[in-house]
A and B are shown apart, each in its own frame.
Chain A
Amino acid sequence: MRAMDYRGPRRVRVVDKPMPKLEHPRDAIVRVTRSCICGSDLHLYHGMVPDTRVGMTFGHEFCGVVEEVGSGVENLKAGDHVLVPFNIACGQCHFCKQGLFGNCHESNAQATAVGGIFGYSHTAGGYDGGQAEYVRVPYADFGPTIIPDWMDPDDAVLLTDVVPTGYQAAEMGGIQKGDTVVVFGAGPVGLLAARSAWLFGAGRVIVIDHVEYRLEFARTYCPAEVYDFREIGDPVVFLKKITDIGPDVCIDAVGADASGNAWHTLFGKKLKLEAGSAVPLHWAINSVKKGGVVSIVGVYGPTGNMVPIGNVVNKGITIRANQASVKRHLPKLIEHVREGRIDPKGIITHRVPLEDVAEAYHLFSSKLDGCIKPVLIPSAA
């Protein structure tokens, strides 16, 4: 089969690889029909996530058709169209029982902090991902969800990560009616976080970024007040001035690849001595109102970051963070899509053949051609 092949920082290609096979009774093999490149794939692509091995296939956002199931899978059959949450979760451990499907204790031998994630380095379990024609799906009797007949596959594939992650970012903010919510980052997750903030009753939604075309997109898609951080001076001062006491909720939807501070860029992105550049987290902590909530869905590496933890104490801030627990959100999000409250495929700007994966990564990484969300389509789709 054809599959994406990581060769080192900023270098990927498509090669022939062996077909995946069932390795556990609860496995399924899925033929991929859509696979996205996620903003967090760029952290891998930029060489920022430890234990990202040459030869791995990335891709944790995909949907497709079930080809084969293991003897322990009774709720799926060959031919079913499924969307596959990016979390590999057993559904029965202590953490899965709590709905913490991103923290499953039975899917990642290499690290205890995070559960298994498709195609996301060995730090997230060493599973090959869905930027391929076929993929092995562990715990297939729990994770995959059958795509409703009425749903467009372009909507379905975005329900595997982007939409639930944005939605959970807003949920973790504990937003109440009338709250002011600031979202740092106008990438795909930031856009969905801002859109979701309205569903929770926000009274004002502000998006901060520096990529003009993305801010312009956020203005209409979310819709949101948008500000270019290059034009507003110190973003923390600015946000306090326009909100009087600071926002009620700040959401970090950027993570390790953030721009905006030379110090963090040097230590986090160039020298890799921090777990990425924590600029939005810094801004979120310092701008949120005293007693406010900072919600983090931006992905950072596992080492450490320079963040003003003293201000968290002094301001009495609540920080909530996690990988999205996709399966938990799906029933509600499918309903939102059906009712037209969320338009997932509205953020797709590029549909690219899998064979052109290198070009798609380059476009997305360098923010070229108005790229917001690229979707890869295998020839066997």
Chain B
Amino acid sequence: MSKDIPMTQSEQADAAADTAPDAKHPRIDPQTVIGWGVDADPENDPTYPMRDRSKDDGPGMNWTPPVAQVADVEILQSVEYLRRPATVGQSTPPSGLSGKIRRAAFAYSESQWGHWLLLMLADRVNFVEGIVDDLGKGTLPNPVAEMGLVKSSNARVAGVATLAVAGLAVFGLVTLLRGRDR
């Protein structure tokens, strides 16, 4: 093949397959692998998960439910449930604009794209709310530290550096705009 004509993916696969297995891709002898075949089981086909009728108590919710947890916060619930599951997570209840969007999302079933896309929208809004909340509490955002670009022990230095860079950027922009006005 001419060097000027790039190989198709199939030809690349051909070329690679011609050399496999090789020193770089050695075949493994199963007998050398510790534990080989210890869990081999002809009965494992078909395999988990499959219906176990011996433990099947028929259609519907026929089990005795656990004691229901009393929630201290607002819990949004899938419209596909007939009743609330017995335990709930109480982390970060819905609030603000993102909370309103999340409540709207839960009007739709899990089958509707609108449900999930509204939740994704709420997540993006919630990100901005998080920054506003930080500022409201007197905490300056420190993206350099939060993105893990420095060790937490250097977070204060990173915060100062971030502020300095942001300040320089604003100063540069103002200077540029003033120059244009003249």
Contacts and interface: CB of A to CB of B under 8 A. Distances in A.
B17 interface: yes
Interface stretch (A77-85, A236-244, A251-259): A236-244
A339 B35 contact: yes
Contact of B92 (A53, A110, A176, A356): A53
Interface string A328-365: 00001000100111100000000000011111111100
A211 interface: no
B86 interface: yes
Interface stretch (A89-97, A151-159, A183-191, A305-313): A89-97
Size class of the contact patch on chain B: 35 or more
B33 A110 contact: no
A40 interface: no
Given A172-B48, A238-B17, A362-B148, A233 B10 contact: yes
Interface stretch (B38-46, B163-171, B173-181): B38-46
Contacts of B149: 362
Contacts of B1: none
Interface in B83-121: 84-92, 94, 98, 102, 105-106, 110, 113, 116-117, 119-120
A11 B147 contact: yes
Interface stretch (A124-132, A260-268, A277-285): A124-132
Contacts of A93: 61, 63, 65
Contacts of B2: none
A358 B48 contact: no
Given A100-B49, A112-B78, A304-B113, A358 B145 contact: yes
B154 to A, nearest CB: 10
Contacts of B124: 47
Contact of A109 (B7, B77, B94, B148): B77
Contact of B89 (A99, A112, A128): A128
B52 A98 contact: yes
Contact of B87 (A116, A176, A355): A116
B17 to A, nearest CB: 4
B39 A200 contact: yes
Given A172-B47, A341-B35, A8 B130 contact: yes
B25 interface: yes
A72 B65 CA distance: 14
Given A174-B47, A241-B14, A361-B148, A53 B80 contact: no
A235 B13 CA distance: 7
A92 B38 contact: no
A105 B130 CA distance: 32
Interface of B: 7-17, 20-21, 25-28, 30, 33-42, 44-49, 51-52, 55-57, 61-67, 69, 72, 75-78, 80-81, 84-92, 94, 98, 102, 105-106, 110, 113, 116-117, 119-120, 122-124, 126-127, 129-130, 133, 142-143, 145-153
27 contacts: A7-B146, A12-B148, A13-B152, A47-B124, A50-B116, A50-B120, A54-B129, A55-B92, A90-B66, A92-B64, A94-B57, A94-B62, A98-B51, A98-B52, A106-B65, A107-B85, A112-B110, A127-B91, A198-B37, A223-B28, A232-B17, A233-B8, A301-B116, A302-B110, A303-B113, A336-B35, A358-B145
Given A51-B102, A125-B88, A201-B40, 10 more contacts: A13-B145, A51-B119, A105-B85, A110-B106, A112-B110, A200-B40, A201-B39, A242-B21, A322-B49, A356-B151
Closest 4 A/B residue pairs (Cβ): A233-B12, A362-B148, A126-B89, A341-B35
